[in-house]
Amino acid sequence: MSLPLLRLAGISKRYPGVQALTDVSLDVPAGQLRAVIGPNGAGKSTLFGVISGEYPPEAGVVELDGKNITGWPPWKCVRLGMARAFQVAKVFPRMTVYDNVLAAVMARDGTSWQFWRLTSRVPGRKRVDGLLAETGLLSLAETPAAVLSQGDRKRLEIAIALALEPRLLLLDEPTAGMSPEETHATVELIRQLWRERGLTVMLTEHDMGVVFALAEEITVLHRGRILCTGSPEEIRGRQDVREVYLGDIEL
Amino acid sequence: MFLIALIVLLLVVPQILPRGQLFFWQRVLIFAVYAMSVALLVGFTGLISFGQAAYFGIGAYTIGLLLPLKLAAPITVVLAIIAGAVVALIVGAIILRASGLAFGMLTLAFGQALYQLTFVFKDITGGENGIPGILRGTVLGINLGNPVTYWYFGLFWLALGVGFLALVHASPFGHTLRVIRDDPKRAGFLGIPVFRYQLGSYVIAGAIGALAGALYALLAGIVTQDMLYWTLSGDPLIMSLIGGLRTFWGPAAGAVLFIWVQDQLARQTGAWILYQGLTFLVFVLFLPEGLASLPRRYQLWRARRQARAEAAPKRAPA
């Protein structure tokens, strides 16, 4: 068995007055599509924050491809092969869709800091068009990101993340705020990207339809602890998972 | 087109204008470039500095302090730029650990600290008297003491400064600065080491601010404490706001208007600061995106008028 791409061991994180994560350990093998679910406040976004370097944990170790990255700032984690799309889409509002993706492409290529050449002649521009086509944003290329719909903004998040050519892609509620049609298209997009690019994907999601349509394995978080990890069938059959969700979700 | 017209205009100005007015318009040009350097920081990197006068002053005092060495003017200007860049690198590396308002306050504190140092080291800075008697000397047989030759000397350096700023704006580095301005935290998730980029922008602004200060000291023939005073940090901010903070040429246009209005008002009344303030207020209230937004506003206004004109006849038959 090969090394897991992502390994968390004994992660604990607290905010003032709240223990957000307690002794969280999990392995995500390379190439897997893993979903993390749990009720509101279970610690899903905090977990993503810890993995991507946004919140350094009080205890525990984060390893990416066998390398200890605990406490690394986000930009270093990204350079090692991680990319994250946010729950509330955070794009660069005063820039166009194209310029948003271009910024990510240049960051990935390591050309961001070049001040002696023109942006209009950067070789990475070709890739931007490809990424916009792949995520269905080509017609919106010249639109300022600030005026995008929530769904388009989430797709721009994905395009930015893909521009970074990650090995590990973290998607925090990729379909939140989307219409059923948009949700369906996004599920297909994620599945396609995951297959074609050999990515390791980790996602959180409230929409159980999305989770069970995509995930190979599911980890259930409850009150900052891991309740269980298993295949969709196993998770579906577990009584304790139902109880966590107070039975208000049809699994 | 606009650029060519501007270059031609700037080249022929000394031939058209009476020599007495060259001083005024060269001052305008120097402040235009100073304002552009501040706008790189504030408008394009999202770092609100209240202390860029520190670099203007460093440039000016470098000229003043090097006076006894009798170096050629271009060398002193280059040394002034280097001084601005080096100080910005060191100071920026410290104060950029803070962000937002805290950063702004630190820039103000640093600027005022430098200002106070001119009192402490009165022996070399001249304290309240400043350093008078700055001579421009002769370069390659050309006497820079002549206002016309100095106009071209200044123009050369300012063109270099603006050219460099233009390159920065059009480069991947400038693109990345705008990304950082929009959301520095998110920029980190693109793998961008935000701090280094902010520092780079701060150093460029400091170097060009020092260039402006050096040229101004050579123009005025004296270095004074107000070249370090905090109001000189505020002026380029106001110029940028008047002209358009997030545009390339806006701050320069703002500088022209700002200094011209200041000059006209100062001739009329002792209360000119009041009227200058009111002018600024009018701009913030009625033209928040500055002079640079005027062409677009005009186009919108025309399009709307046209649309109304086309809609009107249709209504008539009904």
Dist CA B211 CA B205 (whole Å): 10
Q: Is residue B262 part of a domain?
A: yes
The CA distance from B191 to the nearest CA of chain A, in Å, is: 4
- Per-residue pLDDT, B309: 84
Q: Is residue B308 part of a domain?
A: no
Residues of A in Cβ contact (< 8 Å) with B179: 92, 95, 100, 103
- Per-residue pLDDT, B318: 45
ipTM for the predicted complex comes to: 0.91
Dist CA B201 CA B207 (whole Å): 10
Residue A119 is nearest to which of B171, B191, B246, comparing CB atoms?
A: B171
Nearest to B208 by CA among B173, B161, B167: B161
Residues 6+ apart with CB under 8 A from B100: B48
Chain A CB within 8 Å of residue B9 CB: no
Interface test with chain A among B168, B180, B190, B208, by most A beta carbons within 10 Å: B190
A141 and A96 Cβ atoms separated by less than 8 Å: yes
- Per-residue pLDDT, B44: 95
pLDDT digits (tens, 9 = 90+) for A75-121: 999 999 999 999 887 899 999 999 999 999 999 999 999 999 999 99
- Tell if the CB–CB gap between B191 and A75 is shorter than 8 Å: yes
Residues of A in Cβ contact (< 8 Å) with B187: 92, 103
Amino acid at B128: E
The CATH number linked to B123 is 1.10.3470
3-state secondary structure of B218: helix
Supply the angle between the helices A125-134 and A97-109 in degrees, to the nearest 10: 120
Dist CA B233 CA A129 (whole Å): 42
Q: Is residue B63 part of a domain?
A: yes
Q: Is residue B14 part of a domain?
A: no
Q: Is residue B295 part of a domain?
A: no
**Whole-Å CA distances, B142 to B21, B26, B226:** 21, 19, 30
The residues pairing with A200 across neighbouring beta strands, listed in sequence order, are: A168
Q: Is residue B88 part of a domain?
A: yes
Read off the tokens for A51: 């993995």
pLDDT digits (tens, 9 = 90+) for A23-81: 999 999 999 999 999 988 889 999 999 999 999 999 999 999 999 999 999 999 999 99
CA dihedral A235, A239, A242, A243 (to 10 degrees): -140
Residue with tokens 């007055």: A17
pLDDT along chain B (318 residues), means of 10: 90 88 94 97 94 96 92 94 98 94 94 92 87 88 89 96 97 97 95 97 98 96 92 92 92 93 85 83 85 88 87 60
Tell me the H-state helices in chain B.
2-16, 19-42, 53-65, 73-95, 100-120, 122-125, 147-170, 172-182, 184-188, 194-220, 231-243, 250-268, 272-286, 294-315
Residues of B in Cβ contact (< 8 Å) with A79: 191
pLDDT digits (tens, 9 = 90+) for A186-238: 999 999 999 999 899 999 998 899 999 999 999 999 989 999 999 999 998 88
B111 and B230 Cβ atoms separated by less than 8 Å: yes
Dist CA A161 CA B274 (whole Å): 52
Residues 6+ apart with CB under 8 A from A227: A38, A220, A221, A240, A241, A244
Q: Which domains does chain A have, with CATH numbers?
A: 4-244 (3.40.50.300)
* Residue A2 binned pLDDT confidence (cut-offs 50, 70, 90): low
Residue of chain A nearest B44, judged by CA positions? A94
Count: domains in chain B? 1
Residue B188 is nearest to which of A73, A99, A118, comparing CB atoms?
A: A73
The CA distance from A18 to the nearest CA of chain B, in Å, is: 23
- Per-residue pLDDT, A17: 87
Q: Is residue B123 part of a domain?
A: yes
**Domain extent at residue B237:** 22-286
B238 and B280 Cβ atoms separated by less than 8 Å: yes
Residue with tokens 């460029």: B204
**Whole-Å CA distances, B292 to B10, B167, B242, B266, B298:** 20, 20, 9, 26, 11
